[in-house]
Structure 1
Amino acid sequence: MADIDIEQADNKRRTKKTIFSVGLGGLIGFIGAMGALRLADSGVLGSLGASEEIALLVAMLYALTGASVLFGLVAPNAGARFLNVEDADELREQKPMLLGSGIGMLALGGLLVMAALGGEGGVSAPATTLMACAVLLVVAAITSIRSWRLQDELMRAVGSETAGLAFYIVVLAGGTWSLLAHLGYAAGPAPLDWLTMFWAFLLLAAFIVVGRRGMMKMR
């Protein structure tokens, strides 16, 4: 009976944590998306089209993910309540690896933002945008490599599977879109659309791989 009670209590705790995490993520994501769209429509960021607005939304997902991880590292007790970790001690133990991941996510999100704001009608000059993107790309590369070196075999395998799956999704989606455009059935993807697809489908692939491995279940 004691074992059953413990298991039931643990399942209840995980369910509450899942509901809290999903609810919090959904609320923050909704507020962030509405804020980004309002900012884009205000004209402060220049004359942005659909491609730029979608890129900003995808960039926001990267920024929120990175910020959530970094917040969890700064406040482990609070972070353990919504991040998929066992407890605050696990966050402290994984801080070197997660720090690189969080910074890398923020850098990639910032890179896509700069790309969206640096095109035609944007507020950032092409030369400035290029330099900023180069710096952010270097930051993302360095922090990602540092994080990768600290990962165990499981996390490295997840990363490899994610990269492979993302490649195939991009080929399928982007290739189909390009074919339809070539045949005159649709407008072709703009250069920024390709960047957005790279970023978005990498996130999608990560969710698919993690879910397929049963790692989405809250601990």
Structure 2
Amino acid sequence: MTTEVHGLSRRKMALQALIGALAGGGGMFALMWLLKGETLDWQPSQIILAGVGLIYVLMGLFVGLGVLAPRAFGQRMLNVADAEEIVEERANMGSSALSCILIGSALALLAYATVDGANAPVTAATAFWLVLALLAIGSAIMLPMWRNFDELWRRLTIDASAIAGNILLALCVIWGGGAAAGLVAGPHPLDLVSAAFGIFLLATFIAVGRRGMMTPP
């Protein structure tokens, strides 16, 4: 019985990895198709921020699809015990998925809007205010969600925030100090945005992984 469960877990992990790879490749293909015909001078900082935004969008779509189809997709692809768990957490998971999609889209838009010669639908300033507005909305959504969190999820949120804060502190001190001393180039403004969102995402995975929640149940 134990061998059978481990076999199912390995198959689920392999399927998750395969779908993730296909989604990532599909996202990059879609991005290239959208930018087809444009000869733009993308800077590394802009590419990194666009990549961070794409990760958030794909993650939101992945979870959102699982929420919409808990039995056909969710219980097979998400790290949950069964479809009933998704149904019970549908409100929280759905809100989180939507927030990731919107924030990721805004980050990618901000990166694109700062590229010289880009045919962006909005200015870089508008994209910036959009990111701030979505952050405010996301914070407002998180408040009622926080009240509904159990002790485990509250602890995970606190742990992820602490890990992200420590990593960002080290990054700012080392990078900022090194740049002031002339040892390295200073950060591009977009690097700070990428670092904030990217490091928090990394910290979340670290916090979840430390509790053994990265492997399928």
Match for residue 48 of structure 1? Answer: 42
- How far apart, CA to CA, are the structure 2 residues paired with 1:50 and 1:37? 16
- How far apart, CA to CA, are the structure 2 residues paired with 1:185 and 1:35? 39
Give the AA of the match of 2:8. Answer: R
TM-score scaled by structure 2? 0.88
What is the RMSD of the two structures over their aligned residues, measured on CA atoms? 2.1
Give yes or no for the alignment of 1:147 onto 2:139. no
- Structure 1, 66-75 or 31-40: larger mean CA deviation: 31-40
Q: How many residues are matched?
A: 213
Give the AA of the match of 1:108. Answer: I
Paired residue for 1:172, among 162, 170, 173?
Answer: 170
Aligned-residue sequence identity (percent) comes to 29
- How far apart, CA to CA, are the structure 2 residues paired with 1:192 and 1:183? 21
Displaced runs of 4+ in structure 1, greater than 6 A?
A: none
Paired residue for 1:63, among 52, 57, 61?
Answer: 57
Q: Cα offset for 1:112?
A: 1.4
TM-score scaled by structure 1? 0.88
Match for residue 3 of structure 1? Answer: none
Q: Cα offset for 1:21?
A: 0.7
- Structure 1, 74-83 or 100-109: larger mean CA deviation: 100-109
- How far apart, CA to CA, are the structure 2 residues paired with 1:42 and 1:186? 35
Do the aligned residues in 1 keep the contact of 2:46 with 2:115 (CA within 8 Å)? no
Give yes or no for the alignment of 1:96 onto 2:94. no
Do the aligned residues in 2 keep the contact of 1:63 with 1:106 (CA within 8 Å)? yes
- How far apart, CA to CA, are the structure 2 residues paired with 1:30 and 1:145? 35
Give the AA of the match of 1:112. Answer: L
Q: Cα offset for 1:126?
A: 3.6
Cα-to-partner distance string for 1:23-54 (whole Å, 9 max, x where unaligned)? 2112212332454467568537x543111111
CA gap of 1:213–1:198, structure 2 versus 1, over 3 A, is same
Q: Cα offset for 1:142?
A: 2.5
* Unmatched segments (≥5 aa) in structure 2: none
CA gap of 1:133–1:23, structure 2 versus 1, over 3 A, is same
Match for residue 20 of structure 1? Answer: 15
Give the AA of the match of 1:22. Answer: A
Secondary structure of the residue aligned to 2:77 is coil
